[in-house]
A and B are shown apart, each in its own frame.
Chain A
Amino acid sequence: MAEIKLKSLSKKFGKTDALHPLDLEIRDGEFMTILGPSGCGKSTLLNLLAGLEAPTTGDILFDGESVIELSPKQRDVAFVFQSYALYPHKSVYDNIAFPLAVVKTDKKEIDKQVHQVAQLLEIENLLERRPKELSGGQRQRVALGRAIIRRPRVFLFDEPLSNLDAQLRTQMRTELKKLHRKLKTTFIYVTHDQTEAMSLADTIAILRDGNLLQTGTPEKIYKEPANMFIGSFIGNPGMNFVNAELIENGAKVKLENRIFELSLIVGKPGEIMAGLRPEYIQIADEKHPGTIPARVEVVEHLGSEALIEVTTRNNSTLIIRTAQELDLSMNDEISLNLDLSKASFFDKSTGSNLPIGE
């Protein structure tokens, strides 16, 4: 159990900045996911936390104490790898027992704990097997077992579900969540999969090009993305962006030739970007003055819902999520209701979110 603080932590490999100085706080027992596209520095961050790499600047505190000088062993963290990193020549039993065996734990104690962990992960029947005789899901359970057995202060996960097929991934996700609830330990979980991050995390930290862009609950990040990148990266499909104009000192927004009155937006009047989640757009039953005309381009039926791609008169492409049973096909002319009260607005040049005043 540990509360973790990162203070202006950075890492350079030669001349490349893998991680720009960042500050981050992780509460004791929190499930924190670090989300970002590949090459954003998230694995580097995990390696720094584990002590597998030394930072270029900054400090890492576990429960208020710096661990920078400590070896991975002394930091008391567990690491679960995307490749599982099981010892191929050892049985499942010996793999799980390894962290205890290297510190010369009593054999009976090891045996007791291995069975406890195996029971927890429901892999008791696999203990005699070798990793190559296991399926991907089973291997990841063994890797989890090896992490759990030490009762570490922090669990570090490096894309642990990426090598699993979609169905198994969903199942393991639920199990990880349950496991976190049972163990009540700090989990730090790195992934590039926003669905995984959204469904698992208490808090998400978004990294891009070695910069920490935003931290917050999945809900907050979804509803109030700090910039356009996050808006499009989070959500499946991502946010729709529409050209808009801020007028009358931020009191009104002009969009698709309509004027919307909103709470005050703090920003310079002029061209901005409006960000609309696919579910903030409704298809209107009939044309009336408030609606926006559009033409259907693509209809994707996903079972419980449908995604409809439309083009507006101003040539903006929007994706609409709808649960309605609609009989639409290409080139149909429809009308849209936009719910701008839930929309986000962004500065067009920097892409950052324009705060909404009271």
Chain B
Amino acid sequence: MEKRLGYWLIAPAAITILLVAIYPIISVYILSLTERLLSLGIDRFIWLQNYQKLLTDPRFWNAFTNTCIFTGVSVSLELLLGLAIALFINRPFSLRGIIRAAVLLPWAIPTVVSAKMWAWIFNTDLGILNYALQSFGIISSNLNWLGEPTLALGSAIIVDVWKTTPFAALLLLAGLQIIPDDLYKAASVDGASNWQKFWHITLPHLKPIMLIVLLFRTLDAFRIFDSIYILTGGGPANSTETLSIYAYKILFQTLDFGYGSTIAVSVFIFVVLISLIYIFVLRKQGSLLNE
């Protein structure tokens, strides 16, 4: 009796999830097995042909490479800078409260706003970046940050690092604050140098949190869309086109729903793989620390 009541009680939630999450996912999978071009009125089931096409599509592999470079570089930088900032604001100093709040600011600004702001900073003729670099004599002529294929991806990475380093810093700061002070005292008395304290106490304690940061950030970065879409729209010459942007363009600009869904499904598969790897590593780590 009670069991049946339990099922009835979770039914509304289960149905909602089914409708808003499971159904769209399944329909994308089914779409990815069709050729459906609204403009030409084509709609037919073609099994795995879209996936065959995907494997030999140079633009897909270009987007994949861009996504990997973007993810690898931005997440590494965010972790390192985040750690440095966390270590810095964990020390007692005056104005610490204000600095801590200020550090969070970039993260609090909506991506659309900050991307537009950076687009102006990067602007070739009017941007403050070129102006600053020129006045310090670092460059002699204005650089086209967002228009030059060799610079555009780097610029997008800078924006992402600027925006999400605070997130990493915040999580790492929380991690730093739960390390018992006695451990550092013990290590001081035991003769450990600051570097040894960092290596033997701070890092091992932060490891699980660093993995969480990496997991969240890798998943986010791998699906990057909004800031790049606003900065460059995927250009120039597809040099900043990531998987999500490619999928969007095929889906909503070309209106090729079948192939676009295939790209979206590929992103889903990569994301699941990334999660599985992290969860595996986290489990191994987690068992070591909990006291």
Measured CB to CB, the residues of A under 8 A from B are 47, 50-52, 71-73, 77-79, 81, 83, 85, 87-90, 98-99, 102-103, 130-132, 146, 150, 156
- Interface flag for B272 (CB, 8 Å): no
Interface residues in B113-139 by Cβ distance below 8 A to A read: none
Measured CB to CB, the residues of B under 8 A from A are 180, 182-183, 185-193, 196, 200-201, 204-205, 288-291
Give the tally of cross-chain contacts (CB within 8 A).
Answer: 67
* CB atoms of B291 and A81 under 8 A apart: no
* CB atoms of B189 and A79 under 8 A apart: yes
Q: Which residue of B lies closest to A94 (CB)?
A: B200
Residues in B whose Cβ lies below 8 Å from that of A90: 200
Q: Which residue of B lies closest to A84 (CB)?
A: B182
* CB atoms of B190 and A146 under 8 A apart: yes
* Given A52-B188, A103-B191, A146-B190, also A132-B196 (CB < 8 A): no
**Min CB distance, A70 to chain B, in Å?**
12
Residues in B whose Cβ lies below 8 Å from that of A81: 182, 185-186
Q: Which of B189, B200, B204, B288 lies in contact with A77, CB distance below 8 A?
A: B189
Q: Which residue of A lies closest to B196 (CB)?
A: A102
The answer for the CA separation of A99 and B189 in the assembled complex, in Å, is: 9
Nearest 4 Cβ contacts at the A-B interface: A85-B182, A85-B186, A73-B191, A99-B190
* CB atoms of A72 and B288 under 8 A apart: no
Residues in B whose Cβ lies below 8 Å from that of A47: 185
* CB atoms of B180 and A83 under 8 A apart: yes
Q: Which of A73, A89, A98, A103 lies in contact with B188, CB distance below 8 A?
A: A73
Residues in B whose Cβ lies below 8 Å from that of A83: 180, 182
**Min CB distance, A22 to chain B, in Å?**
22
* Given A52-B185, A87-B200, also A98-B291 (CB < 8 A): no
Residues in A whose Cβ lies below 8 Å from that of B187: 98, 102
Q: Which residue of A lies closest to B290 (CB)?
A: A132
Q: Which of B180, B190, B196, B291 has the most CB of A within 10 A?
A: B190
The answer for the CA separation of A90 and B183 in the assembled complex, in Å, is: 12
* CB atoms of B183 and A87 under 8 A apart: yes
* Given A87-B183, A87-B201, also A130-B190 (CB < 8 A): no
Residues in B whose Cβ lies below 8 Å from that of A71: 188
* CB atoms of B190 and A132 under 8 A apart: no
Residues in B whose Cβ lies below 8 Å from that of A87: 183, 200-201, 204
**Min CB distance, B152 to chain A, in Å?**
43
Q: Which of B183, B196, B288, B289 lies in contact with A85, CB distance below 8 A?
A: B183
Q: Which residue of A lies closest to B204 (CB)?
A: A89
* Given A73-B191, A85-B180, A89-B204, also A79-B186 (CB < 8 A): yes
* CB atoms of A88 and B188 under 8 A apart: no
* CB atoms of A130 and B288 under 8 A apart: yes
Q: Which of A72, A88, A103 lies in contact with B291, CB distance below 8 A?
A: A88
* Given A81-B182, A81-B185, A83-B180, also A102-B289 (CB < 8 A): no
Given A51-B188, A72-B191, A85-B185, list of 20 further CB < 8 A pairs?
Answer: A50-B185, A50-B188, A50-B189, A72-B189, A73-B189, A79-B189, A81-B182, A81-B186, A83-B180, A87-B200, A89-B288, A89-B289, A98-B187, A98-B192, A98-B200, A99-B190, A102-B191, A102-B193, A146-B186, A156-B189
